[in-house]
Amino acid sequence: MDMSYLASSFYQLALLGCAIYAAIYLLFRRSIVSFSDPLNYNALIIAFYLAGALVLPSSHILNLSYIYVLILIALYIIAGAFFSHRRLPNRVPQLGVDRTTQLLFTAALTGLIVVNLIANQVFGVMALFEGTQARAAYGSVISPSLYLLSPFLGIMVLLVFILTEVKPVRRLAGVGVCVSIVSTILGGSKSALFSILLIFLIADYVLNLKRNASTSSVEMLACTKQIKRIRRSGLTVAAAIAIVLPAYLSLIGAGSGGGGLEALAVRLFGGFDDLAIIGVKNIDITTIHGINISDFYFYPLIKKFAYTPEFQSSGSYLIYLLSGDYEFATSGLNPNSSLAIELLISNGSIVISSILVTLVAAVVFRLRRSLIARPKLRMFDLVLWTLVVIGPFSVILDGTYFVITSYTLLGIYAALNISINALSWLGPGRKLFRLL
């Protein structure tokens, strides 16, 4: 869908986005640890997306569905602030598993990232050189699920790199992080370069947690020095990204047509592109029948073991309603599949959807609170950190992607956990199954 209209109101949208961000920041101010807190920069992202959604009423008469979606997004944010933790002293986060387990898990995760790079990209699709539309072809590579999970595996090895005290594990995790960066850039996403900055933000955030929890002045000073070093490096990388970004966007075909300002406006303010379709096409999603949310969330499993659902997300369904072309809607790149839209399509009730959104926010933010307060982190906890600590708004932005990623990532963890437990049973002693 053409969202070039966002560029014509770029500066007004920027001001509106900053105002929305200030309101969200006030809601979460007692929970935000530092500027690098995922709550903080994710709040900025969702604020700009909302600004883009709020400009559409100035040129279109919108139905209640559009308003309902905005209400549900706001409800998730407000409920998240209510269930989020306050900024209390935490114990220093560190890995609570033994050296061998760290080494085996990190080797497996790094290996999976390398396999994805070679099988799915080097010998599959490299959208960096073929254009951003080529990313649609990742659904037909050797292992689409591995490509889907690769960014999350990269975050997990990054967390291992930051938290481990074992040098061989840190070196191995460093390899995984580097390969993950290469894979992301080859993936040809418009935001790929910014994923490098995410590394510095996550490192800064974890170090701030350590500094806030430290009771030793020596440890606090060491953390402060590390934080300053990371921030200097991050600023240098940000300046380099700003220089090469226009060339990168041109290379992947995302900067053509409307120019750099248009590409930037769509990227900053067009995150709720699925909602824009509802507004432009005047679709009342509360009256839709025959669309089951379970088809979205379990599409990979249903397709493999039962039948192929008509649509794999609400985004592809909305593209079908917009274009009238089923093949186009189910074979190309599609908008995000917002949780609010998924719920309204499936049940048609703002009341039921509001209750479900509140429950989801309660689970995500209470779990996030528990994870941040936990001093000894298992590898299982790193999976949950990747899903809810680093991405607290991911589920509201794209429910289908979040759910599928969650159970697939947990499936990989379960396979590794069983395998490592089985290896430990080969030696003498009691045979215990541990949640590593």
What would the pLDDT profile of 29-81 be if each residue is shown by its tens digit? 999 999 999 999 999 999 999 999 998 877 777 889 999 999 999 999 999 99
* 175 falls within a domain: yes
Domain presence at residue 249: yes
Local confidence band at 400 (pLDDT 50, 70, 90 cut-offs): very high
- Per residue in 276-330, pLDDT (tens digit) is 899 888 899 999 988 899 999 999 999 889 999 999 999 999 999 888 888 888 8
Token couple for 290: 């025959």
Q: How many domains would you assign to the chain?
A: 1
pLDDT (0 to 100) of residue 314: 93
Domain that holds residue 169: 94-257
* Domain annotation covers residue 310: no
The C-alpha atoms of residue 16 and residue 20 are separated, in whole angstroms, by: 6
pLDDT (0 to 100) of residue 1: 66
Distinct helix (H) and strand (E) counts, the chain:
20, 2
Domain presence at residue 164: yes
The lowest-confidence range among 61-65, 83-87, 315-319, 408-412 is 83-87
Mean pLDDT of 232-256: 84
- Is 133 in a helix, a strand, or coil? helix
Half-sphere exposure of 124 (CA within 13 A, CB side): 23
In a domain, 295, yes or no: no
The confidence score (pLDDT) of residue 253 equals 74
pLDDT-based confidence at residue 424 (cuts at 50, 70, 90): confident
Residue 189 lies in a domain: yes
DSSP-derived letter for residue 256 is: S
Interval 163-191 mean pLDDT: 92
pTM for this entry: 0.93
Q: What is the mean pLDDT of the chain?
A: 90
Confidence of residue 266 (pLDDT cuts 50, 70, 90): confident
Q: Decide if pLDDT at 110 tops 90.
A: yes
Name the amino acid, one letter, at 267. R
Q: Which of 59, 71, 55, 47 is nearest to 268 (CA)?
A: 47
Q: Does residue 224 form part of some domain?
A: yes
Query: What's the pLDDT score for residue 182?
Result: 94
- 95: which DSSP letter? E
pLDDT at 92 over 80: no
More confident residue, 18 or 189: 18
Predicted pLDDT at 88: 57
Q: In this model, does residue 89 exceed pLDDT 60?
A: no
Residue 150 clears pLDDT 60, i.e. is over it: yes
Lowest mean per-residue pLDDT among 74-83, 170-179, 330-339, 397-406 = 330-339
Higher-confidence residue of 195 and 131: namely 195
In the beta sheet, which residues pair with residue 376?
94
Long-range contacts of 242-251 (CB under 8 A, 24+ apart): 244/193, 245/193, 248/192, 248/193, 249/190, 251/128, 251/129
pLDDT for residue 3 is more than 80: no
User: CA–CA separation, 155 vs 110, rounded Å?
Assistant: 11
Q: What is the CA radius of gyration of the chain?
A: 22
Asked whether residue 126 is assigned to any structural domain, the reply reads yes
Confidence at residue 57, expressed as pLDDT on a 0 to 100 scale:
76
